[in-house]
Structure 1
């Protein structure tokens, strides 16, 4: 495949994921985070099984034998992360959510070093500190002296919790490296929907959605959940997860562009915080071989949650 197509696929994948942040904030005004998460993956599931069968031709019995691990993965990455993301968007801006989320690859490296005893170099440590400083700038709106204040934006704090959930999910992802990714996602989504169904059944559901909200949830269920995932997996097979992972920074870039097009201002603090996060993540990703493999594992499955 020509490199131009790979780059195009990566750009489209990250643009669709950025749309999840922007459109998600509008849809969550009419649907609860629980209803959004359930609806999103129910729509995606209609596509995942046929696509997995067509592209990967898996042994479904072999995939389902891993149901225990896939259930945990589902509760963390497929369902847990999205519930926290959509809840966060009720309190913070899409750009802030994307900026905080951008630190995720660096956090994965840190957790790999702490819990998997993988080496982390001095430049990695510097990168983690710089990216953390960028997130703190965003969290405190540039008022670093308020770092110990209890008046943080609740949505930003929820995004930090979402990052923690996703990091644990990424580390656990190493246990299912022998399962095709689309097939694993299809089964994880199935288990997650079964888990969420009783809660959705007894929750306050809004069936009288506006046209905009209906189109929004269809977009989220098709483009970020299915389209991005297919483009992403095609790309990493061509250039590898490490090189493709650099393009994940485009999520924040596209989120900023979409915010500007919608007339939402971007502050100098957000710009400075974003630059620090990008620089820090770049440095933290200059890792030794073992740690890079862990980051790759997390990057391969990142499309399950964005």
Structure 2
């Protein structure tokens, strides 16, 4: 069992290192090589193929009454979530995006209280206030900080986090009822229906002939690693560790993003990223971390788990 737990932590480490690297890798090909909507079209279509290929090993039927919820999950968890994320990342700094994403546990708490009627303790209220201040500072600071930051891009990333947070609450009953691979396969299929009208024209207008090997590698990384493998790593880990432990690994993403942006700015001499690291962003990051920590801690013996 200890061996499986270790493997679960390694899987979570791998998944969140992939997510952290994704901010800079995906931004590196947008919009010069491919637009955000076209990128999502390719990403979701590639993920559908991989998920449904793997789903052939799982024989499970969905009840008719659950299809509307799956459709809503596809809208929120795939289409709205990814379109807002890639359009936001196209406009703003990879560091800003990675920090704002860590507010997802705060957003999940709010929607859980509204939809699932979960109790909000005093610690969680304090965490909401502190984390919210951090997010507001970072979003509003977007256009003033220089570098590749943008208030509109930051706002898109925040709305993406809201969409994904609501998706996590809505999809929860389905994950309890069906195999998680079954759920995600249908969610991506339905999500593609919403992505199609936004992405098809951009895909047709994309000059694939101009793509270099590096472009194909970057797009392939997003499809295979960020979308497919990272999700499978998370599924595996959830078999052996709690969702709260799983969620805590999101804090790695800004760290990975900070490291990669630093390498780009100071080692590879990409000066446009040099102003993306500053004291305001570090402080807003710490505020969000403190807020999420207050939300996630439990009283009594459970805190030791």
TM-score higher than 0.5? yes
SS in 1 for 2:118: coil
User: Does 2:46 align with 1:48?
Assistant: no
Are 2:88 and 2:157, in contact at CA under 8 Å, matched by a contact in 1? yes
Distance 1:184 1:63, change over 3 A: farther
User: Does 2:12 align with 1:10?
Assistant: yes
Residues 157-306 of structure 1 aligned to structure 2 (within 5 Å): 157-176=155-174, 177-203=176-202, 204-206=204-206, 207-208=208-209, 209-263=211-265, 264-265=273-274, 266-286=277-297
Equivalent residues, number: 279
SS in 2 for 1:7: helix
User: C-alpha separation between the residues in 1 aligned to 2:64 and 2:16?
Assistant: 29
* Structure 2 counterpart of 1:81: 81
Residues 104-115 of structure 1 aligned to structure 2 (within 5 Å): 104-115=104-115
SS in 1 for 2:240: helix
* Structure 1 counterpart of 2:94: 94
Unaligned runs of 5+ in 2: 145-149, 266-272, 300-305
User: C-alpha separation between the residues in 2 aligned to 1:6 and 1:76?
Assistant: 27
User: C-alpha separation between the residues in 1 aligned to 2:217 and 2:47?
Assistant: 14
* Structure 2 counterpart of 1:68: 68
User: C-alpha separation between the residues in 1 aligned to 2:132 and 2:279?
Assistant: 17
Residues 112-191 of structure 1 aligned to structure 2 (within 5 Å): 112-141=112-141, 153-176=151-174, 177-191=176-190
Distance 1:201 1:114, change over 3 A: closer
SS in 2 for 1:58: coil
User: C-alpha separation between the residues in 1 aligned to 2:126 and 2:26?
Assistant: 34
Deviation of residue 261 (structure 1)? Answer: 1.6
Deviation of residue 123 (structure 1)? Answer: 0.7
Are 2:142 and 2:151, in contact at CA under 8 Å, matched by a contact in 1? no
